[in-house]
Amino acid sequence: MSKTQRITPRTLKGFRDYLPAAMIPRERLISTARRVYRSYGFSPVDTPALEYLEILAGKGGEETDKQLYKFEDHGGRWVGLRFDLTVPLARFAAQHMAELGTPLKRYHIATVWRGENTQRGRYREFMQCDFDTIGTRSVAADVETALVIHDLFGALGFEAFTIRLNHRGVLTGLLERLDLADRAVPVLRALDKLAKVGPVAVADEMKAAAGATDAQAEEILRLAAIEGTNDEILAQLEPLVAGSPLGNSGVARLAELLSAVRAAGVAAGRVKLDVSIARGLDYYTGTVFETLLDALPAIGSVCSGGRYDNLAELYTNQELPGVGASLGLDRLLAAMEELGMIEKTATPAPVFVAFFDKNRLHDYLRLAAALRARGLGVELYPDPKKLGQQLKYADRRGHRVALIAGENEFTAGTVQVKDLATGKMQDVAWTGTDAGPLVEAIGRILGRIS
């Protein structure tokens, strides 16, 4: 008999497996995002991972087209894996808006693919958590986008973060004044790299890709370097875009948005004007957002988005302006891990029930079931092994509480409750029916009861 040829188990570059210790905080973050989105009235939708190539190609820019995973399927059709959730949304809205009506408020949490160079917190397969409002140009929708981002990061436990804000009209208005409006796309792509490569490299790219002169590139970089309070920046922007209706409209929109955010109760300094923000995707037309963690700015934006008023025009004659943002799930998780915000655990169940009396399986099952009925996550060890071996397993998995009972405890109507973090133990009454005393003891250890 020939020996079986073993295949080396490995993952593709830029792709990864998720072990329980990675998936548990990931699912918690998704659950929080879903809860915040729903609190604003956003409804869930889903779209296929594969789209006709014509739907995706040319929608995100030249660089995104290079990163697009595309192939010919068995039916001879050219298809592509979605590189974000916004372009499929434009197709979705054009196809279903007559049935859904406007405004459409949707959220979409799903996997996307880009064949880009991997970096910290960024992979070729990653998940986005998007929310968008389609069918209105109202500033209220732009304001709500900022408020959702604000509430989301608060719900995730962040106290120090900054939502950076700009308007494509301001940048386009300056380009009109500099006679570069017809070359806006390559100019804004270059400007979007400012934080990564610096002003010299950005100026060189503007000159090479857009044919900008030294003076034109210098003027654009001077605009991007404006600093001060929000009011001071607005005052400096007005003369720079004077004579451009689009630029004036952008400045006015920013002023209106900032005023509304303050009225909604967002703390001063939490939303900051940053004229250097361009956002590299071609479809943005108005307000653009980026979110930075004050304690870890080098990791980049962890929640970005903006207004795109023309994205659906390729699919329908109906006007479908939109605005929204996307939470960078994997990048944010990498940041949270670096900041020590992720609890190290490989189990979603805080309570561990040891099974070491092989004749008492039914009692252990009743104990676990009674606690689950009271809302606790409980794992029962499957084999009646030595107690020490089971407790080592519970420590390694990250359980918080261990329940220990043998013949003596069951006869006495008690269970030993052990705090696995401190090692402290206590006997708690358990009659086989009333789980109240156990729930209270466990709740105190978990911090649910003071």
pLDDT for 31-73, tens place per residue?
Answer: 999 999 999 999 999 999 999 999 998 877 778 889 999 999 9
How large is the average pLDDT for residues 340-347?
A: 90
Question: Could you say which of 3.40.50.800, 3.40.50.170, 3.40.50.10800, 3.30.230.10 is the CATH number of the domain covering 351-446?
Answer: 3.40.50.800
pTM: 0.87
* Residue 196 φ then ψ, to 5°: -85, -45
Average pLDDT, the chain: 91
CATH number of the structural domain 20-338? 3.30.930.10
pLDDT interval class at 282 (50, 70, 90): low
Task: Decide if pLDDT at 17 tops 80.
Answer: yes
* Residue 148 φ then ψ, to 5°: -65, -45
Q: Among the listed ranges 308-322, 344-358, 369-383, 435-449, which one has the minimum average pLDDT value?
A: 308-322
Beta carbons of 146 and 261 less than 8 angstroms apart? yes
C-alpha 440/C-alpha 436 separation (Å) is 6
Q: 410: which 2 tokens?
A: 């069951």
Beta carbons of 362 and 432 less than 8 angstroms apart? no
Residues of the chain with CATH 3.30.930.10: 20-338
C-alpha 250/C-alpha 397 separation (Å) is 53
Residue 429 pairs with which residues in a beta bridge? 414
Q: Among the listed ranges 17-31, 225-239, 258-272, which one has the minimum average pLDDT value?
A: 225-239
Residues of the chain with CATH 3.40.50.800: 351-446
| Pairing between β-strand 401-404 and β-strand 414-419 as defined by DSSP bridges | antiparallel
pLDDT interval class at 326 (50, 70, 90): very high
Higher pLDDT, 223 or 56: 56
pLDDT interval class at 450 (50, 70, 90): very low
Spell out the residues 6+ positions from residue 413 whose beta carbon is closer than 8 angstroms to its own: 429, 430, 431, 432
Higher pLDDT, 96 or 190: 96
Q: Among the listed ranges 27-41, 99-113, 117-131, which one has the minimum average pLDDT value?
A: 117-131
Q: Among the listed ranges 72-86, 117-131, 222-236, which one has the minimum average pLDDT value?
A: 117-131
